[in-house]
């Protein structure tokens, strides 16, 4: 089973993906985290990080190569949950995993901005917290691994707006493709993550 999670920045793809991964026992892969963790000697490292550090989205050509190489690993042989690919139709021309199911987490632009501008991630693994609705027990410290919590560089307001503009301008065409295939499920992602996940479980009947 190959599942894609798609939605605006801040829609909870990472959190929902981890919960879904635990429930159905499939590995989750975050394209964003994969790119952030690229070793400096990886092909296209400089080009990818130059764009990301400016709050932009790297070329789908480079991302498709990195993602395609990662998904060749044995741990994905039974399927996976993918977060952060197919933002536009051209992505499928570059690398098409032939998804069985696409889950679209739907939130407003205002909610995206509110969530991203208050998001914190730990330096070690990338566990996500939020100063408004998921505060760490100790300020500035990850509850799970004890590493320092920081704001992502691309979560500054100017970069958030740019990322949202890109997403909304490009996403309709690709979601229309998945609708025509009959594999798209839309989920209201305005509530808190636990409620969103319950909605996903209910929709999937699992």
Q: What is the mean pLDDT of each run of 10 residues along the chain (206 residues)?
A: 92 90 94 83 79 73 85 94 86 89 93 81 77 79 85 64 83 91 94 86 88
Range of the domain at 112: 2-204
Angle between helices 13-24 and 193-204 (to 10 degrees): 50
Tokens of 16: 């929902």
Tokens of 143: 């509850």
Query: What's the distance, Cα to Cα, between the start and end of the chain in Å?
Result: 14
Tokens of 62: 């480079």
Identify any residues that bridge with 184 across adjacent strands, giving them in sequence order. 102
Q: From residue 165, how far is each of 2, 8, 13, 132 by CA, in Å?
A: 28, 10, 18, 24
Q: Find, among 7, 180, 186, 2, the residue nearest to 99 by Cα.
A: 2
Give per-residue pLDDT as tens, 26-39. 999 988 888 888 88
Q: How far is CA 172 from the centre of its chain?
A: 17
pTM passes above 0.95 = no
Q: Find, among 86, 82, 70, the residue nearest to 26 by Cα.
A: 82
CATH of the domain at 16: 3.40.50.300
The residue with tokens 């100063």 is 131
The residue with tokens 């939130």 is 107
CA dist 183 and 190 (Å) reads 22
- Domain count of the fold of the chain: 1
Q: Are strands 119-122 and 101-106 parallel, antiparallel or unpaired?
A: unpaired
The 3-state secondary structure of the chain reads CEEEEECCCCCCHHHHHHHHHHHHCCCEEEHHHHHHCCCCCCCCHHHHHHHHCCCCCCCHHHHHHHHHHHCCCHHHCCCEEEECCCCCHHHHHHCCCCCCEEEEEECCHHHHHHHHCCEEEECCCCCEEECCCECCCECCECCCCCCEEECCHHHCHHHHHHHHHHHHHHHHHHHHHHHHHCCEEEEECCCCHHHHHHHHHHHHCC
């Amino acid at each position: 089973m190959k599942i894609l999670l798609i939605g605006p920045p801040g829609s909870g793809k990472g959190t929902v993906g981890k919960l879904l991964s635990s429930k159905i026992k499939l590995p989750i892969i975050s394209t964003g985290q994969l790119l952030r963790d690229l070793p400096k000697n990886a092909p296209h490292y400089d080009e990818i990080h130059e764009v990301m550090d400016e709050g932009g989205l790297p070329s789908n050509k480079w991302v498709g190569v990195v993602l395609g190489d990662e998904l060749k690993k044995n741990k994905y042989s039974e399927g996976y949950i993918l977060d952060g690919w197919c933002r536009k139709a051209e992505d499928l021309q570059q690398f098409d995993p032939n998804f069985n199911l696409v889950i679209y987490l739907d939130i407003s632009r205002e909610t995206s901005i509110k969530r991203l501008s208050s998001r914190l991630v730990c330096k070690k693994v990338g566990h996500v917290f939020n100063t408004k609705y998921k505060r760490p027990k100790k300020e500035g410290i990850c509850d799970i691994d004890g590493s320092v919590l920081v704001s992502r560089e691309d979560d500054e307001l100017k970069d958030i707006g740019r990322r949202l503009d890109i997403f909304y301008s490009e996403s309709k065409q690709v979601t229309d493709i998945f609708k025509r295939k009959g594999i798209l499920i839309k989920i209201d992602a305005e509530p808190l993550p636990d409620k969103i996940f319950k909605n996903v479980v209910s929709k999937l009947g699992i």
